[in-house]
Structures are given as C-alpha cells and as structure tokens.
A and B are shown apart, each in its own frame.
Chain A
Amino acid sequence: AQSVTQPDIHITVSEGASLELRCNYSYGATPYLFWYVQSPGQGLQLLLKYFSGDTLVQGIKGFEAEFKRSQSSFNLRKPSVHWSDAAEYFCAVGAVGGADGLTFGKGTHLIIQP
C-alpha cells in the first residue's frame, strides 16, 4: 500500500530565510508526486508536481522540489520565505496513469516569524 510521510508536523522559519519541507513516500509503482498548500478553511492549491523527466521541478510562488528515487523523497524548498507562505503543506502521491485518488501525508504546518 502506498504511504506518504511528512516527518515535521510544525516548522518555524524566519521571514526571508530558506525553507525545506520533507516528504518521503512508499509506492509500489512509478509515482506521481505533488505538493499542495492549504490556507485555513480553504481548499487545496497545487504548488508543483512531478511525473517524469527532470527531477528538479519548479512550481508557483517560488517553490521547487527535487525527486530523489534512491531516497524515496520529494522535498519542497524555497530560497526565501514570505509571511504569506504561512499555511499547511501537503505532499501527495498517486499512480502514473491511474484513476485513483491521491494519498496524502499528514501535512506540515509552516509558521513564519517576522
């Protein structure tokens, strides 16, 4: 069965500092990997996704993520965070070409210090 682990429940970063959110997955097939962001009381917004090809993917709002197959990881990074980045971040995995829903990690709550 597939699973996604986000080991950090909360992360606090100073505004302007760099950010890395960790994500590890377990999946029996070739995975699709996603990062979503959720503001309080809102739905989810896609930040970026990896299907194939270049393992470093660029997303919206200055985020990027790197797929490392050997480590089963898909960590999210941003070189300089803004106060508006404070939110809940979810890593998710799905099947390539599949018709199933995604499996989500438990999320990482990002707090931005002034």
Chain B
Amino acid sequence: GESVGLHLPTLSVQEGDNSIINCAYSNSASDYFIWYKQESGKGPQFIIDIRSNMDKRQGQRVTVLLNKTVKHLSLQIAATQPGDSAVYFCAENYGGSQGNLIFGKGTKLSVKP
C-alpha cells in the first residue's frame, strides 16, 4: 500500500528520567558523528558530536557513546525535561574531502510532565 508518512520510532519518558536514543549507522568508514535535535517548525540544531577515535563524549546533560564494532551510536539525556521533546537525528560523515553528513530517520522523544 501507499506509505502515508515516515513512521519514526518514538520514545516516551517521564520528566526527570534519563533518556537513551539509539542509532545504527551504515558505513564502517564513517569517522565523525553528530546528534541533532529538531523541534517542530525549526531546523535541526546541533547537540553533540564525536569522532571515531573516541567512544564517549559528554556535554551538558548529554552523553554520546560510540561502538564502532557494531556501528552503534547512542545519545543519553540526563534528567529529561519537557523542553527536550523533539525529533533526534544522528548523522554520520563518510569522510574524505567532500565530507557529506548523512542523516538517519530520527527518533521522536516525548516527555511526559
């Protein structure tokens, strides 16, 4: 049948809980990864990045974990707040001089007050 839209995985959490959003990337040659947050009606906003020579990086309330063995990236948000409700995208850079960012489908995070 005809697709009516992109069905995003949805994560629903209680305010104050920790959130973990997962992403499987496609290219083992990718050497740079970014997490973006997109709120309704806005463009994607940078959250945190990590290079392939690291397996963990921390920011303010956020942590990104990289597992190159299984090509898996995760974003952990501590003490999730209603303002964190958005769609979260991971992006990978295949590397090279062109260095294009390729985005995943996204995960919708809903925070219940």
Tell whether A pairs with B.
Answer: no
